[in-house]
Amino acid sequence: MALLTIGDIAPDFEVETTEGVIHFHEWIGDGYAVIFSHPKDFTPVCTTELGYMAGLKPEFDKRNCKIIGLSVDPIDDHIMWSKDIKVATGHAPNYPLIGDKELMVAKAFGMLPKDSGVTSEGRTPIDNQTVRTVFVIGPDKIIKLALTYPMSTGRNFDEILRVLDSMQLTAEHQVATPVNWQRGDDVIIAPAVSNEQAEKKYPEGWGGPLPYIRTIPDPKR
């Protein structure tokens, strides 16, 4: 099993979701997408995560980023579980959930080995523990981020939003973002930009503690 990672082309597939059949690349369109997986429906940590993600959806919408969930459970289970998610978190999933009961999508992303069989029947959360990854995919259908979490640790989706902000900023401008960066904070001129180029691009100059850490205000501020 080789988990897909940064720089890989995201697999394309046709699959059933709680919002109907989608063609993945076509569904992504010209924006970004987050696909996040969980090992099993009706599990405690994942219940809190899917509800929280539903609450964050308007923030992803503002950034032209779609979100979609995935597990190897059937669609009917997703629909029944959504009621529990609403009770527990105040938010029911307002984004599609993939029913990957034949394990096709999980295998395509490398979250399960190719020899995992062709059905989710009889599989436990432990069997599916590697189906717990977050991928951020760009408009070019290239994977920009891949994170896999242990089952006992809830994911920080605010961090995914922060990373998305950084990705979109750095894709538009020749900058990088430093540790713990938040929207509006100073950024770093990319190393690929020479001082001569930087002087033309940023005539007001830059700061920074070292010659190779050239800081400027957030270009979108």
Q: Is 140 tagged catalytic?
A: yes
Burial class (CB within 10 angstroms; exposed 0-12, middle 13-18, buried 19+) of 132: buried
- Is residue 190 within 8 A of residue 169, CB to CB? The reply is no
Q: Which residues contact 82 (CB under 8 A, 6 or more apart)?
A: 18, 92, 93, 97
Q: Is 65 tagged catalytic?
A: no
Q: What are phi and psi of 148, to 5 degrees?
A: -115, 130
Write down the catalytic residue from 12, 76, 140, 158. 140
Write down the catalytic residue from 12, 30, 41, 46. 46
Q: Which residues contact 197 (CB under 8 A, 6 or more apart)?
A: none
Active-site positions?
46, 140
